[in-house]
Structure 1
Amino acid sequence: MQTLTRYCLKFVEHCLPNALLLAIALSLIVFLLGVTVEGQSAITMFNGWGNGFSNLYQFAMQMSLILLTGFLIAKTPIVSRMIDRLAAIPKTPSQAAGLIAVVGMVTFYINWGFGMIVGAFLAREMGRRVKGLHYPLAVAAAYSGDIIRGTTASIPLLMATEGNFMEDVVGVVPITATLYSWWNVGLSLVLLFLLYYVFTRVKPETEEIQQFKGEPLENAVEKVDTAGMPWAEKLEYYRLPNILLALLPIGYLAINFHQLGFNLNLNLVIMIFLTIGLLLQPNPASMGKAIKEGILSCRGIIIQFPLYAGIAGMVKASGLADSLAAWFVDIATVHTFPIVTFISAGIVNIFIPSGGGQWAIQGPIMLEAAKTLGADIPQTIMAFTWGDAWTNQMQPFWALPLLGVAGLSARDIMGYCVMWTLICGATIMAAFVLLSMI
């Protein structure tokens, strides 16, 4: 474990540019592949980039709001106390890293935005408290929990929805056959125990340890003397405005869930997070302060999401994703198809780090092939879902919000994330090999 970790750290230190430079490099690579491998003209590639550039505007705003509303919750006294109590449990760096990893994966399972924020704040607090805990390792442990596919996994939820774009090919595939099948739940539990084991065994050299030096989380409500303030300014320090505003999303959510059931999507998650933040924040002034701090954490999302949308536009326009998927299909058999799907999804995910967008491009090819080969459809869906999650572990795109809160760069944590990528990838492939034998 130590040897693998040291090798991954050295590789990242010498070979990985920062997140923005990586996005630029991937843009150039895809452009050149489209021209040289697919034989597309430069005009086609330019148009693909330009047409794709704006495709993630809405998604970037949604991710920013998930981050901001998650920040809003994390910066409330009750959540700060919860993190404070969790941070008091471990007594050694290994125990701290293991607990961060477990809490990270559990909260990621509930929701991506919540896991990102809670994991980052827990890593900060433990990095400050636990003597000898290497802060980049703590942040990497928090992010590595993102491997889990939980209640809001977009691909299996989409395939379980009537009217989805592949219904005429494979029908509606219920989540009891994919996300909540016995074998997928078992794989999720294996990954949870494996994540804990891995991060409790990684021990940086003493001279490499970087202790977190930031400020502790605020548990107390700031006391402000409102005497002599105009009434309009005094309102900023009363809870009532928060509660009155919270009544609007509460009413909407109650009606929505009553009429449509518990149909979570990104917009509803943002609204739920906002509602919880409004109810837990002591007053509008405190809420405004938390939002101000959270906005700084969104800076990576704002520019890099459109760059990756441009990359996805070039991949789609050039036919690169189709060619890669078709090549994998040609070499697959009925037994190896889920593993081939997993690897294919993982490779394309590096260039299109959006599960829904990637599924729209590759999904029809993979499901048509699975049907032709007689491969298991639910396993194919989950193999693709896990493949999308797999290379997220070494793709800075999804780590940007967490890194913004943690105050680190991608290079600081990616050595550990690459190590985890290799281990979890081998584990997931082994699971699908065993399934093919049953």
Structure 2
Amino acid sequence: MEAITNFSVRVVQRYLPSAFVLAVILTAIVFVLGVAVGGESPMNMADYWGDGFSSLFKFGMQMTLVLLTGYVLALTPVVQSLLTGLTRRANTPKQALVLTIVVSFVCYYLNWGFGMVAGAILAREMGRRVAIHFPLIVAAAYGGELVRGPSSSIPLVIATPDHFMEDAIGIVPVTETLYSVWNIALTVGLLCLLVIFFMLQKQPEKIIRLEADSEEGRDAPAPEKAYQSPSDRIEKSRWPTLFLGLLAAGYLLNKVIFQGFSIDLNTIILIFLALGLLLHQSPAAYLGAAEKAVNAARGIIVQFPLYAGIAGMMTSAGLVTQFSEAIISVATPETFPLLTFLSAGAVNFFIPSGGGQWAIQGPIMMEAAAALGADPAQTIMAFTWGDGWTNQIQPFWALPLLGVAGRSARDIMGYLVIWLIISGAAIVSTFVALVVFG
């Protein structure tokens, strides 16, 4: 295992381009496929790309704010103290890996947006305090991203009355999908495999440490000016951040008590914002932390629109439909969930937004499942797991974590390629077992 992983790391380090260049390469591949396979003209493909380019602006802004507000919260003295206490429980590299994997996996399970920030911040803190190869622990923090928990949108949508596919498949409760015995067993099994895989990794002789000069939040305070104007005093006053933090907290409390509380991206942003404002001592301190966080968000800002353009070409050129129909043509009721998993994983590499992929590919696959008589619950979870599986080698979802950690995709992808194979084998084995044992 060590030799295989080391080989993968060397190959990725040498040949994998930056996440931005990879997005451009994927754009070119889809463009050529649209012309050669979809029968579209180059001008049509350019139009499809341009039409799709802006479709993720809202989601991209949400992800930027998740990263920014979560990062700023992590730089507060209270959270830094909590992280310090947590990281002190790890005295060796292996202890650091296990703690990082378990905490980030649980956070991802509860909500993928929360897990993204929490895992990256914890990996940074471990990198500061433990002599560990930093790319290794960052990869370990990201490995749990594939888990599908209660924030997985697809099973929740299918369990909601009046969803857009109810006429075809009915309502499928989450007790048959997310909380089925086999899915819970698979989730626990993947956590165990993730821990074992990274525990087997041996650190290189020359480890890469987290650079001391990049340790955000540890800068020496600026010297006080002899004279402070009224505006200076307001900037360093407690009341502006306290007022705004209490306002956001009051809104969230009202939601919990009177409207029913549900976790989504907007809620996470507000929680991070409220806590960050309340725990920072002044507007100057908050904005100083935000300045560091903005730099970490550059990958999201630049690259998310590129993937939206790819999705626009894939959809409008009919490539997703052609691919899905090719899978359906060779499927049987028993093999359909497994083929759904593999096809969702393949399409996810080009359309990494789960909601966007489901809107395009989901109806085709679910209508085929109904026609074949395949188990709808298994098909839904197969699609859901496939959507998360290839995230391991798709930089789209790693960008927030990489931004916080200050690493590039090529630093972690060598480990994650092997984890993709291991986790894929575990998921495929589960679906095979469901066919064999019912």
Q: TM-score, normalised by structure 2?
A: 0.94
In the alignment, residue 40 of structure 1 is paired with which amino acid? E
Measured on the aligned residues, the alpha-carbon RMSD in Å equals 2.0
Which shifted more, 316-325 or 223-232? 223-232
Task: Please list the CA deviations of residues 399-436 of structure 1 after superposition, one character each: whole Å capped at 9, or x if unmatched.
Answer: 11111121111111110111111111111111111122
Distance across 2 between alignment mates of 1:116 and 1:219: 22
Q: Which residue of 2 aligns with 1:129?
A: 129
Q: Deviations over 1:146-181 (max 9, x none)?
A: 111223212122222333221222223232222222
Distance 1:354 1:7 in 2: 30
Q: Distance in 2 between matches of 1:151 and 1:168?
A: 24
Distance in 1, Cα, partners of 2:399 & 2:32: 26
| Structure 2 equivalent of residue 25 of structure 1 | 25
User: Structure 1's 219 and 79: CA in aligned 2 closer, same or farther, altered over 3 A?
Assistant: farther
- Match of 1:142, as an amino acid? A
Match of 1:79 in 2: 79
For 1:94-109, what aligned pairs fall within 5 Å after superposition? 94-109=94-109
- Structure 1 window deviating more from structure 2 (139-148 vs 218-227): it is 218-227
**Contact residue 94 and residue 203 of structure 1 kept, 8 A:** no
Tell me if 1:45 matches 2:49: no
Matched, 1:327 2:291: no
5+ residue gaps in structure 2?
none
Structure 1 position 220, deviation (Å): 11
Deviates most, 377-386 or 229-238: 229-238
Contact kept, 8 Å, 1:56 with 1:309, in 2: the verdict is yes
Question: Would you say the 8 A contact 1:136–1:412 is kept in 2?
Answer: yes
Kindly provide the CA deviation profile for residues 173-217 of structure 1, in whole angstroms up to 9, marking residues without a partner as x: 23222222222222111111111111111113313x212222556
Change (3 A) 1:175 1:84: same
The residue number in structure 1 matching 2:276 is 277
1:200 aligns with 2:213: no
Cα offset, 1:72, TM superposition? 1.8
Aligned residue in 2 for 1:236: 235
**Distance across 2 between alignment mates of 1:36 and 1:139:** 39
Task: Return the offset for 1:267.
Answer: 1.7
Distance 2:238 2:179 in 1: 41
Q: Measured at CA, do residues 433 and 268 of structure 1 come closer, stay the same or move farther in structure 2, by a change above 3 Å? A: same
Is the Cα–Cα contact under 8 Å of residues 236 and 283 in structure 1 kept in the other structure?
Answer: yes
Match of 1:367 in 2: 366
Question: What is the CA deviation profile of residues 319-367 of structure 1, one whole-angstrom value per residue up to 9, with x for unaligned ones?
Answer: 1111111111111211111111110000000100100000000000111
Using the aligned pairs only, state the percent identity.
52
CA distance in 1, matches of 2:22, 2:123: 25
Give the aligned partner of residue 111 of structure 2. Answer: 111
How far residue 52 of structure 1 moved from its aligned partner, in angstroms, is 0.4
**CA-CA distance at 1:258 after TM superposition:** 4.2
Q: Is the contact made by 1:325 and 1:344 (CA closer than 8 Å) also made in structure 2?
A: yes
**Does residue 14 of the first structure (1) align with residue 17 of the second (2)?**
no
CA distance in 2, matches of 1:291, 1:107: 23
State the partner residue of 2:93. Answer: 93
- How far apart are residue 222 of structure 1 and its match? 5.8
Give the whole-Å Cα distance in 1 for the aligned partners of 2:160 and 2:221.
46
Q: How many angstroms does 1:54 deviate by?
A: 0.6
Larger mean CA deviation between 190-199 and 54-63 belongs to: 190-199
The answer to whether residue 220 in structure 2 is matched with residue 213 in structure 1 is no
Structure 2 distance, partners of 1:179, 1:315, is 29
Question: Cα–Cα, structure 1 residues 224 and 181, in superposed 2: closer, same or farther, change >3 Å?
Answer: farther
Residue 154 (structure 2) aligns with: 155
Give the Cα–Cα distance (whole angstroms) in 2 for the partners of residues 223 and 238 of structure 1.
16
**Change beyond 3 A, Cα 1:87–1:251:** closer
- Sort the Cα spacing of 1:141 and 1:254 in 2 relative to 1 into closer, same or farther, 3 A: same
Contact 2:341 2:386 in 1 (8 A): yes
Report the AA paired with residue 287 of structure 1: Y
For residues 98-131 of structure 1, the C-alpha deviation after alignment (integer angstroms, 9 at most, x for no partner) is 2212121112223223222222222222223222
Q: Is 1:329–1:337's contact at 8 Å kept on the other side of the alignment?
A: yes
SS at match of 1:99: helix
Range with bigger deviation, 268-277 or 192-201: 268-277
SS in 2 for 1:206: coil
Q: Relative to structure 2, which stretch is displaced further, 110-119 or 317-326? A: 110-119
For the residue of structure 1 that corresponds to 2:341, the secondary structure is: helix
C-alpha distance 125-279 of structure 1, shift in aligned 2 (>3 A):
same
Count of residues in correspondence between the two structures:
436
1:276-300 Cα deviation digits (max 9, x unpaired): 2222223222211111110001101
CA contact (8 A) 1:370 1:376 kept: yes
Q: Which amino acid aligns with 2:105?
A: M
Distance 1:217 1:303, change over 3 A: closer
Residue matched to 2:294: 295
Structure 1 alignment gaps of length 5 or more:
none
Structure 1 SS opposite 2:212: coil
CA distance in 2, matches of 1:315, 1:263: 32
**Counterparts in 2 of 1:398 and 1:149: CA distance versus 1, 3 Å:** same
Kindly indicate whether residue 399 of structure 2 is the aligned counterpart of residue 400 of structure 1: yes
Q: 20-29 or 324-333: which moved more?
A: 324-333
Asked if 2 retains the 8 angstrom alpha-carbon contact of 1:77 and 1:221, the reply is: no
Tell whether the 8 Å contact from 1:78 to 1:219 is kept in structure 2 after alignment. no
Change (3 A) 1:163 1:269: farther
Q: Distance in 2 between matches of 1:257 and 1:368?
A: 37
